[in-house]
Structure 1
């Protein structure tokens, strides 16, 4: 399999960061979060995650392995109170349009702080204990999408409750999305972090199986679906779903910088070479590290198994088509 060399990979973000936003071809990041701060965040060694073994007798949680003492490159979280400002500055510099998910009031803060059109707003329903009744949430969502300009229903994190997206208990939300012609973004795949049974006892890896979407899609044939994290690591099931449903897209957020680079390239290459190059969308899962955006774009730009046209499609054109934006820009 073609892969990046270490030298080209390490140089990717630096090479990408030479020009100003006005000189760049546009990029769409379809997976961001409207956070204010991330006090939990530590420096990250991208593409060096390890799910280390642990012994339950130790009474310690397993480590995801993101933070390491000595690595190059290393990404650092924003200073307290500066995360949104720093990320929006990076979006302007890199000419990135971002789909930002969160509670409506938080997403609106990002919209107000950004130039017009830089932030595409998204919001979703919540499940589990302590969440509002479905009737209240459906009313809120209807207002958000019909009056307040929200464009995507996401992030839908049913996997964290161990719930299938085809479960009838949440079908009314997807019915609303289909009725309003709003695409949905569903977390599927990665997220266990080696400590799910301790930190997230309701999380089920099996609930991230992309084929769990089949009954939902059969009930709502006009529903546009964004499978977040591309269903990683269930590549065969992901390809099966894509083959059967031409209006299902994937984003490569999270996995693009979390897992070993060879694994990341192998996964994306499988999807592209299986014939689904027009349904892969760029994303970061932007959470805490402003430098994550340039770093992640660099990985796509330096992928030697992608043509220049495929890179452009992943970085912009596919998402523009999925989101039905008017300004689809090719080339660059």
Structure 2
């Protein structure tokens, strides 16, 4: 009797396990996500033959602006990314927003891939008032060897503080060999240290700032800034797919343990590699030290509060 029922029990156990796995997968797909670091790249921004994803080795498939938009939209829908803060030129952001005005929100990137100069301050303020952008960034000033404290950015920061426009700043590192690339001979690691933002926070105490890439790898500086300046938050972009999993987990956990779970936001830093979104979402979902509430906060709640998304 026992030998006959054992296979049936095993079969039943297998079915139950599959049900729970499927239910867990479905649950992860219904979790609402805001991607606070999403790039609206154009065909050719990375050359005629774009490089493979440095983490997965997979080549991008989209080769035209239309294909780039369509392939990204499929991924955003698949992972229930209901809002994406578009970092790019206003023109390219508009391409995305025109097709899906509910999902996409514009953020003014500088420097951008088209080498556009910053608009003058009067134009900048007019654009902000007219909601041409809801955030200022990604600001990749580090690639120019500059910091947000450089005097030339002061008038723009004053406008952002006045109008409640969040500033999204690249911090930390970049790809290997960045200073030797034709684009970025002035890039310096030191320019991306989180502490360089302190003079700005002193001068503009109501300015909301997001440190992109969690200030990685400058953990202690990042914790110090977050502790002293409550108007600062971080996103987990790139680190959530481009560095080894355990290193990402250790860094993220350190900020959680330090008490900053309400100021950490999900970002993919999706550029041209379609799998960046998939890799980054799954890394957060699988993080063994995060509770369901913490995942909900990172994926949606913290960003909704920071950007005023209803």
- The alignment partner of 1:310 has SS state of helix
Residues in 2 aligned to 1:140 and 1:160: alpha-carbon distance in whole angstroms: 25
For residues 227 and 16 of structure 1, what CA distance do their matches in structure 2 show? 35
Give 2:191's match in structure 1, choosing from 196, 207, 222. 207
Q: Does 1:100 align with 2:109?
A: no
Contact 2:178 2:187 in 1 (8 A): no
Which of 96, 111, 136 is the matching residue for 2:97?
111
Q: What's the CA shift for 1:139?
A: 3.1
Check whether the contact 2:90–2:132 (CA below 8 A) recurs between aligned residues: no
Once residues 167 and 197 of structure 1 are traced to their aligned partners in structure 2, the CA distance between those partners, rounded to angstroms, is 24
| CA-to-aligned-CA distance 1:233-287 (integer Å, 9 cap, x gap) | 1111111100111110001111111111111111111111111011110001100
Count residues with an aligned counterpart. 281
Moved more, 175-184 or 143-152: 143-152
CA RMSD of aligned residues (A): 2.4
Change (3 A) 1:16 1:221: farther
Which of 24, 31, 35 pairs up with 2:37?
31
Which of these two proteins has the greater Rg computed from alpha carbons? 2
Using CA pairs under 8 Å that are at least 6 residues apart, name the structure with larger relative contact order, 1 or 2. 1
Distance (whole Å) between structure 2 residues aligned to residue 256 and residue 241 of structure 1: 21
Please list every run of 5 or more consecutive structure 1 residues that lacks an aligned counterpart in the other structure: 1-13, 47-65, 68-74, 327-332
Distance 1:241 1:169, change over 3 A: same
1:265-304 maps to which residues of 2 (within 5 A)? 265-304=249-288
More deviation, 250-259/90-99: 90-99
Q: Distance in 2 between matches of 1:100 and 1:16?
A: 32
Moved over 6 A (4+): 14-17
Q: Is the 8 A contact 2:269 2:276 kept in 1?
A: no
Give the conservation status (yes or no) of the 8 Å contact 2:178–2:185: no
Q: CA deviation at 1:20?
A: 10
Structure 1: distance between partners of 2:306 and 2:22: 29
CA–CA separation in structure 1 for the residues paired with 2:213 and 2:89: 21
Deviations along 1:190-216, whole A, 9 cap, x unmatched? 215234245422011000010100000
Determine helix, strand or coil for the equivalent of 2:120: helix
Q: Please point out which of 280, 294, 298 is paired with 1:310.
A: 294
1:74-153 matches, cutoff 5 A: 75-81=58-64, 82-96=67-81, 97-114=83-100, 116-126=101-111, 132=117, 136-153=119-136
Shift of 1:19: 4.6
Contact 1:20–1:93 (CA under 8 A) maintained in structure 2: no
Compute the TM-score of the two structures, normalised by the length of structure 1. 0.78
What 5-or-longer segments of structure 2 have no aligned partner?
1-20
What secondary structure sits across from 1:275 in the alignment?
coil
Which whole-Å CA distance do the structure 2 matches of 1:265 and 1:15 have between them?
Answer: 25
